């Protein structure tokens, strides 16, 4: 008796899912490290003489609104300055990277070097005056804004 093979109409089993980007692990690792650095900077600025948040802006905008209601305008403008310089950093990242697609581009290296410089500069600014103190806060807020848009997710 001869067996006749019958063609099956069922699709073949799906292949194991592949990561869409070959360099996903390094990108995820760098993303984790950058988020950790941003959290460290925020915790440092919250617990130091600065006593303000520089990387998480919901609290900063809430504090600015509360200070407006309490008619503490100098503190309100300080917090709005943090929000403004975070926005400036995010805008600078958009101009440097210049790519709306979620993929790595060559300009990320320059953006990271600029971010590193912005993080290091406040170390050399003495905090002897209110102006220097605010300047340091604004520079770090710009660095956090610059960091906010990078790197892209490898899964999109």
- Enumerate the domain spans of the chain: 32-148
The predicted model scores a pTM of 0.67
Question: What number of other Cβ atoms are within 10 A of residue 29's Cβ?
Answer: 10
pLDDT, residue 138, reads 92
Condensed to tens digits (0 to 9), the pLDDT of residues 66-101 reads 889 889 898 889 889 999 999 999 888 888 876 555
Q: How many Å apart are CA 140 and CA 115, to the nearest integer?
A: 9
């Amino acid at each position: 008796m001869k067996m006749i093979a019958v063609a099956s109409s069922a699709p073949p089993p799906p292949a194991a899912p592949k990561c869409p980007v070959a360099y996903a692990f390094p990108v995820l690792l760098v993303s984790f490290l950058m988020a950790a650095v941003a959290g460290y900077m925020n915790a440092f600025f919250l617990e130091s003489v600065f006593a303000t948040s520089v990387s998480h802006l919901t609290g900063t905008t809430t504090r600015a609104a509360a200070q407006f209601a309490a008619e503490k305008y100098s503190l309100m403008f300080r917090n709005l300055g943090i929000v403004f310089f975070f926005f400036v950093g995010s805008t600078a990242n958009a101009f440097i990277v210049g790519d709306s697609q979620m993929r790595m581009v060559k300009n990320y290296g320059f953006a990271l070097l600029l971010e590193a410089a912005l993080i290091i500069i406040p170390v050399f600014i003495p905090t002897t005056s209110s102006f220097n103190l605010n300047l340091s806060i604004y520079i770090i807020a710009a660095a956090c804004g610059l960091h906010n848009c990078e790197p892209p997710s490898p899964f999109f």
